[in-house]
Amino acid sequence: EKKKKLEVPSKPELATSLSPDHPFYNEVNEIVSNHLRRLLSEVKEPKDDWMCIVDQGDLKVFKRELEENGVPLDPMKAVCTVKGMTGHEVCHYFWAFDTRMEWEATLEASRVVEWLSDDTFISNNIIKRVWPASQRDACFWSHMRHISKSNDEGPDSWIVVNYSCEHDDCPPTKYVRITMNVALICETIIEPPVSGNITRDNITCKITYTADVNPGGWAPASVLRAVYKREYPKFLRRFTTFVEEKTHNKDIMF
Ligand code: 16C
């Protein structure tokens, strides 16, 4: 039964407004498919190599400890269940550039470098400095899409991917450049009311967030791990509270 939850779209080329001729077209489709495949394989065969570092019931954060030449690369994963909002709404606000600074507490500044299509843009994020390390920045494309299903069963799902890239208008000259592969996948669960219309009380969103971040050079592992343990749950609380405030008195965006 669980296997039906998410399907890798068989025709990803229909799912984006990026033109097939666009230089980023293949990369975007490949990275999105990889995330969906990774999630599917974990539903089928749950792996126990994730270490739970935060458990607040509705919000759990996991990590795998990984280091390369002394650089901590710990993959992070979080799952969070929120009531009253759809996966489309959660993904929309995670992706939307114009409101990013309203919930992003770890950024000093953010700017759009280029719009590639109406579902994909490249941005430059300058991250707040963490003592004693040098300040970091990131350049990545952000892409949002609906996950098409091969059958009508199972929850409606959306995905946003933030994936590092290079851009001539964003050279890595001023800060240490981090690289990352971040995905937010949301499933909307609707418990239809006995009578009447669906309201926000009937809606639950199941969020899976994954972040593979390379801090791009020396960073003290113990400081970084302490910052991650504090900042990832904080981000999810702050961000989902933000989406709740933005949506609670608006029509439901299914
Ligand atoms: O996914 C999130 N935000 C997205 C939109 O902005 C985007 C960004 C992802 C980048 C997340 C990783 C940043 C790692 C920086 C490493 C800095 C190394 C410093 C060395 C330390 C010894 O996908 C939400 C991201 C939630 C981020 C949580 C963890 C970030 C820690 C960043 C440190 C800033 C601390 C500021 C303290 C007030």
Q: Is 85 helix (H, G, I), strand (E, B) or coil?
A: coil
Q: Which residues of the chain are under the pLDDT cut of 50?
A: 1-3, 12-13
**ipTM associated with this complex:** 0.95
Give the residues surrounding ligand 1 with Cβ less than 6 Å away: 100, 104-106, 125, 127-128, 130, 133, 136, 138, 162, 178, 180, 182, 213, 215, 219-220, 223-224, 227-228, 231-232, 235
What CATH number does the domain located at 10-247 have?
3.30.530.20
Identify the sign of the CA torsion 167, 168, 170, 172: positive
Q: What are the pLDDT digits (tens) for 124-181?
A: 999 999 988 999 999 999 999 999 776 677 899 999 999 999 999 999 999 999 999 9
In the chain, how long is the greatest CA-to-CA distance? 60
Give me the residue spans of the domains in the chain. Answer: 10-247
Q: Decide the pairing of beta strands 67-68 and 59-63.
A: unpaired
Q: Is 222 helix (H, G, I), strand (E, B) or coil?
A: helix
Q: How far is CA 87 from CA 26, 36, 78, 248, in A?
A: 25, 15, 15, 14
Angle at 22 between CA 18 and CA 26, to 5 degrees: 80
Distance 139 CA to ligand 1 centre (A): 13
Q: Which atom of ligand 1 is nearest to the CA of 127?
A: 34
- E strands in 64-155: 67-68, 71-72, 76-83, 107-117, 120-127, 136-147
Residue 45: the pLDDT is 75
Q: Decide the pairing of beta strands 179-190 and 203-214.
A: antiparallel
Distance 227 CA to ligand 1 centre (A): 9
